[in-house]
Structure 1
Amino acid sequence: MPWRETADPYHIFVSEVMLQQTQVARVRQKYGGFLQRFPSWHELAVARLADVVQQWQGLGYNRRARFLHQAAGEVVSRFAGGLPADQQLLATLPGIGRNTAGAICAFAFGMPVVFIETNIRRVFIHFFFAGRYKVSDAQLLPLVEQTLDRSDPRQWYFALMDYGATLKARGSNPNRRSAHYSRQPGFEGSRRQLRGAILRLLVSGEPLALADIAAAVGEQHAGSLESVLSDLENEGFLAAEQAHYYLR
């Protein structure tokens, strides 16, 4: 995993946003190309959102591309292009919660901060909560803190994540006993599928009329098309001019 071979804060930040909701294998495919296209905070911040979304294609959950673009702008404007080594400050950036901020602190700055992600959660439920259900992260956090290798948190967390991934590969998924576990809703016919389809249509840069978009996405989305277009416009992805939609 190339993001484990660097301590560059920008590279780590990009990888952590990508890994939030996308499998490692897919992130590995997209990570290098994204950094080649946007090699610095400044170049990402000044890029058009449409170009960022285009480069993001294949990773899913496109809101993260917008958050990453906005975060780059804030790093440049608020922190003079230098990512702060501060979990609380990092958690104020768009799309960055406390756990992602903790991961960035550990992997970019070697800070012994406490955080939980899906594989870490899996390990601690497996070891400390055998046979128990509805285990909350609040129950896990003290254990994560007590076991943390403060001399080398980066390698410790890497090892935990690898072990958690191995548990899942063996067919054991203790995360199903987490209070925070929920099944992924079906993708086919969903609003998420429609959002992605619309953005893929528009990444070429050519404005499209509503009728053209409707024809391209198919009748199965007819009932939600205008609502999803409105959402994407309100979120800053799209703009409409003379009854044609285009990426900002």
Structure 2
Amino acid sequence: MGRILTIANQKGGVGKTTTAVNLAASLAAAEHRTLLVDVDPQGNAGSALGIRRDESEKSIYEVLLDDQPLSEAVRKTELKFLDLVPASRHLVGAELELAELDARESRLKRAVDTLAPSYEYVVIDCPPSLGLLTLNGLVAAQGVIIPLQCEYYALEGLADVLKTIELVRAAANPGLTVDGIVLTMFSPNNLANQVADEIRKTFASQVFRTVIPRNVRLSEAPSHGKPILLYDVTSKGCQSYLELAGEVAARFGAEGGLA
């Protein structure tokens, strides 16, 4: 079975979906068969890949709430090796609906495990919260990648995410690892450099070498319905995500993450 990676941070605006989409696309560009699963009610992962919401087609909502097979919600993308399970506007109320179901925290895991053997990587994009949808993403995953913006409160927010991961390990997924911390939206100023240095000093090898810069082309790409490598392959944003995918493939593959 391939590596199941959840991209999670309870803080919004840190490049979580951008990382999920472009990491998945970059892995696929290297001919790693990859499935991107969107459990964020905003559904931005799908739109960033040019997949229009079609309520007549199955989404992750029907998988989680109606026990539909995950395979029936898979959509093809422009990239040969990248498939998508899109979100749905119905996910907005899914937290309350899930709360009434049995095994509410492991419904995504049960679904993903049926398809994971067909992919080298499954990348799960979670909402910026610590509700049941994110909990499902953490229970389903083997490893977590945490996108982190180099700002004043970054370490405080990171501590909250790591505490949640510890709770999930203790209660539902003892094998869950932190596969890495990726510094995003980086601007080379004194504060960002200080925060980056502190994070690297504290977490050492858990921090990816690759840093994702603030990049105009990277921010433009979603409005064109394309991952950055199909929008501007020469941009710094594209090169950074290709490098990150190379790190993921080299450091983990199917072997597992960091403790």
Q: Answer yes or no: same fold by TM over 0.5.
A: no
**Which has more radius of gyration?**
1
User: More strand per residue: 1 or 2?
Assistant: 2
TM (norm. structure 1) is 0.29
Answer 1 or 2: higher relative contact order, Cα 8 Å, separation at least 6.
Answer: 2
